[in-house]
Amino acid sequence: MTLLIDFIVIALLIVGIWQFREPLRAKHGNLTAALALFLAIILVLYRHGIVDIGTVVLALTVGAIAGIALARAVSMIQVPAMVAFQHGAGGIAAFLVSLVELSRATPALSLVSEISGVLGLAIGSLTFSGSMIASAKLAGKMVQSPQVVTRHNLLVIFNIAALVIVGTLSLLIPGGIAPYFFVLEIVLGICFGILLAIRIGGADMPVLISSLNATAGLAASLCGMVIENQLLIAFGATVAASGSILTYVMCKAMNRKIGKIIFPDYKPEQTIAKTTAITVQPPKAETVPTDTTDLFPRAVAAIRTAGKIIIVPGYGMALAKAQQEVATLAEDLTAMGKDVKYAIHPVAGRMPGHMNVLLAEAGIDYDMLVEMDVINPDFHLTDLVIVVGACDVVNPAAIEVEGTPISGMPILMAHEAKKVICCNFDRLPGYSGVDNPLYGQENTIFLEGDAKETIQLLQQSLVEETPAQTPLPASHTTSKAVAALAAARSVVIIPGYGMALAKAQFKLVELAALLEQRGASVKYAIHPVAGRMPGHMNVLLAEADVDYENLLEMEDANQLFGETDVAIVIGACDVVNPAAIESEGTPISGMPILHAQDARQVIVCNFDTNPGYSGVPNQLYNNRKAILLLGDARETTLNLFEKLKEITV
């Protein structure tokens, strides 16, 4: 009966993992696997006669609360680092359990259990240290490029030999001395994990993560052998097998052998410089123009004329949190009758399936995601490729240049398309350190800057009927706005319903406080009908602890605008629309407004340039004094605050 119950629980775990094969079922797979693990915990506690149920419940509660809090706090961009951290937690648990069991005086362990325990010490400790290094790299707490110490390969070989020798001796020496050897084995394992992980970086990180997944499972399985628990053996073996398969898939995707990743035959620091010298071609003026006012209309025109479009997402999209904007752009393109697909490189991002998760989060139909092997033959027939924050996975140097960290790695053949638009932050190499010749191709339009802002402007330009007045990328206007704020001595803030929708009032108050610290006078101009109820703005600003004396009624504020250096509009439209006093026959004609246009400079932090609820286009947007910062008002305000903080008084 015991064996049958164990088989049922193990089968439940396998069913859960099986559901991971399809994204739509993955959530249920997680819940199923979690249920299997919970049942396993109950069975283990029951069979070992643990009677102090209070301690068990307390431990489970503390662990569950910590896990839930961590999961809720972690953003999608931090998931790879969290996954690596969890592997490390599995490793430390494995070698601690092995240490306790091996150090027990009674009952005596069998030889198989002792060998398993020593292996658990070594593999668990190397998994712990390797995962912590990987997590620190992915979280940006360490240098992410491969790091090589003097005689690295020799140190790795000595470390492996020491692990074998110390592990063997710990099995042969008397019990009183053995614990010292067990501890030494753990120290050697930690050193090996560090030596292994620091030399892996960049494009190889998904391989490192998947291999640590495998070693964490193996360590758990060895623990199961030490304590003679078949459930832990089976669960650990399942994780080890899936991690090993994933590692194989990642290695195949990069055309690498795991041995070459552990013992690379290149020296990253020196080779990068050499590679740069080989691959970097001096940019030609006609192929790498720097005038973005020319590039942006060209990009919009390329999109309008394209029939078949492939979008290539990369880690930069995750960093810019641009997946939702990419999804919106794709929806608009599809509505315009264009054939749109997403090309997914297996190692794009920082863990296997990273792009799939991000795009699924944005609600993109899974049928639009196409794997590399399937979509590569289509690139030369494609009118346009839009690269969003991807570099190494579309770098032709991988197939054209020998001796680089990515040489031989299969890539998405974006360079074969008729046109390519690159929405990357800059032209610097990716994590491999290898320059990307794609950026300099004649058929490439490089839109440098924040990917989210770039995609938003592309999408906005496409839906406008008259794209001739295409705005500059927001990175330019943001700098202009920050410069205006830095020089301002009087600022009037105009909040609107958009501020409430974006929940931007708290960040707005922080920005106002910073302006006051810099010596500026800051007031808030309140229109009587701003918001969705009388006094709406007053309530929101009071919630954010704005002094009531700083709130000005419309009549008082309008007398100030002529002497105001900067007026900041936050999510307001109709109440600052000059059309109300300049145009006849509109729904707002004759309505008193806040005269923001009288200020020396106007910064508009609205979501878009669409009309407000009145449906009347806002003439303020076309005022030469206006600086448009489009997008989420809360993020815009935070961005202004961060950049203004960097400017010394």
Crossing angle of helices 323-335 and 451-463, in 10° steps, is 20
Which range of 144-153, 250-259, 315-324, 412-421 scores highest in mean pLDDT? It is: 412-421
Side by side, which strands form the sheet with 566-570? 551-553, 521-526, 490-495, 566-570, 601-605, 626-628
124 contacts: CB under 8 Å, gap ≥ 6: 91, 92, 93, 94, 95, 96, 98, 189, 219, 222, 223
Give pTM, 2 decimals.
0.55
Which range of 114-123, 171-180, 445-454 scores highest in mean pLDDT? It is: 114-123
Provide the pLDDT for residue 107.
67
Provide the pLDDT for residue 612.
79
Length reported for the chain: 649
How confident is the model over 56-61, as a mean pLDDT? 82
Cα–Cα distance measured from residue 99 to residue 97, given in angstroms and rounded to the nearest whole number? 5
pLDDT in tens, 248-285: 877 776 666 777 777 766 554 444 334 343 343 433 43
pLDDT in tens, 418-470: 999 999 888 888 777 788 899 888 889 998 888 888 888 888 877 664 444 44
Judge whether residue 352 has pLDDT over 50: yes
Of 499-503, 582-586, 605-609, the least confident:
582-586
Provide the pLDDT for residue 254.
66
Exactly one of 392, 435, 574, 632 is catalytic; name it. Answer: 392
**What is the number of alpha carbons within 13 Å of residue 339 lying toward its C-beta?**
8
Cα–Cα distance measured from residue 451 to residue 312, given in angstroms and rounded to the nearest whole number? 12
Cα–Cα distance measured from residue 473 to residue 487, given in angstroms and rounded to the nearest whole number? 23
Distance in Å from the first CA to the final CA of the chain: 76
What pLDDT band is residue 501 in, cutting at 50, 70 and 90? confident
Mean pLDDT of the chain: 82
CA–CA distances in Å: residue 24 to residues 20, 48, 323, 368, 461: 9, 38, 18, 14, 33
Which alpha helices (H) appear in 524-586, and where do they start and end?
536-543, 554-560, 579-582
Between 210 and 384, the higher pLDDT residue: 384
Catalytic annotation on 365? Answer: no
Provide the pLDDT for residue 106.
64
Question: Which helix (H) or strand (E) segment is 332 a member of?
Answer: helix 323-335
Judge whether residue 590 has pLDDT over 90: no
Provide the pLDDT for residue 475.
57
Between 538 and 648, the higher pLDDT residue: 538
